[in-house]
Chain A
Amino acid sequence: MSISRDDTLNWIKSCAAVLAENRDYLTQLDAAIGDADHGANMDRGFKAVMAKMPEMADKDIGTIFKTVGMTLLSTVGGAGGPLYGTFFLQAGMKSAGKMELSLEDWTIALEAALAGVVMRGKAELGDKTMVDALMPALNALKQSLQDHQPLGDALRASAQAAREGMIATVPLVARKGRASYLGERSAGHQDPGATSSYLILNAAAETWKNT
């Protein structure tokens, strides 16, 4: 009942696939309230991460996350680069030297990742950002941990909470990022950052469901 290094690499691959698949969808969401680049940026970033797969194959999970973070930081651009870069760097610091992650390890890693995103982006819950998907996902994980749920169930619940958080961004008025320039007109649109965060966490639940 733990996430191995290979599982971790499979998750990263799955993120790359899901983000490539949803590239146009994310860009459409961003065109409505931002600047129509989120899908292309995330896809470019994770394609660069895929190119680093060979050098990550024999590393520990912390190093894998750190490599993903540094790669995203230097290839994504926009707000997504520093935010997802920080997300993986922080998760990497909590996973340093680890060859597998328990539910508790993953919860600690995600908590640090979210704290990093909040520190860098200064967003709070309800600002119509990534935080709206990540924070409920983390809270669900903590609850599962407390209830001694199996890893697969916990990840599923976490992804489900991220999904609900993502959908809950629809009526919100953006208070951070480029969407905030629209004021009231940002309401009625799903936040692209919350959407990519859900996709990434859902990819984790899907990839790791049998671990």
Chain B
Amino acid sequence: MRWMDEFAREELAKGLIDRIHRLAQRLGRPITIMEVCGTHTVALFRHGVRAALPKNLRMISGPGCPVCVTPNEEIDTAIEMALKPDVILVTFGDMVRVPGSRKSLADARIEGADIRVVYSPLEALDIARANPERQIVFLGVGFETTAPTIGATINQAASEELANFSVFSAHKLVPPAMRALVLSGEVGVDGFMLPGHVCTVIGARPFEFLADEFGIPGMVTGFQPLDLLQGIAMLLDQIANDRHRIEIEYTRIVSREGNRQAQAILEKVFTPGDASWRGFGLLPSSGLHLSPTYSQFDAKRRIEVKIPPPVEHRGCRCDAVIRGALEPEECRLFRKVCTPEYPIGPCMVSSEGTCAAHFKYGEAQHPHPIEPPLEVKP
């Protein structure tokens, strides 16, 4: 695995860390960069990048953990579906322990629901073929990154005329959430570290509004240690020179236009529609629904469930953490009541959740104290 060493070379890292410190010093004021993607949040901690950053540079996490932004309403619905005796609910592992209003899928599994964890949605088709008498529901949670593979799976199911397979699409689109985040003015952000995987599919262009309309620079960044450092350095360079463009650090994978084939699948199988987000509420055209041609694969149409009104856990501040308005340590439940073993909110469950990352890797080691959020920029 040569590339993994290539992207973690110590001497190059030192050079980039120096450059970041010089730029931050030149800026001479508190700088806030939001990493939008949960994978970035974890990578920044895991590779020790946060600990190497200057004191006046603050990294905050944005709405980029798909499990975290899934509202209770959708989790509750999935649980009700799973509890139907003829249903096998298939999902990615991250969703299983996320608490809904009253229970999690893991609790439902203990109660007898048949819930299977897969690593590829195509495995759900194997399960469907092997269990023709059962209804197989795939719980599709994710952003533009995972949606194409789910789309391809639906396409495959259609070509095989699999009658017992459907998808509960809880997919969300990142750019509309970013627009809502910036429009709210709740969090002052000097620059965005943009999600490398999402942009692999949709390209960098859908994020250009951040620079064009709001004057905030963005950097599409990869996930290896040197990517992270280079992305931060390039962003600081823009901020220091008063430039605001959407640039790509992750050029070995991401283009302006993205992956046309993946986009074609999305367009074929899904249609954008309203979606409800934890942290934002209902955002127009921010979710992917099944397009009319594929409506027979829509679990929401096929499996009828009624759920009691969703309720939020009192005191849980995942909504504010998702918007970057609150650091996990500022939540009263963090570490005291809410822990990875007994998570209250999704940000503590998901491996990409901000609270889980802060719990696991410890802000104690972080060189700078938590400062109150910076003032909102005009």
A pairs with B: no
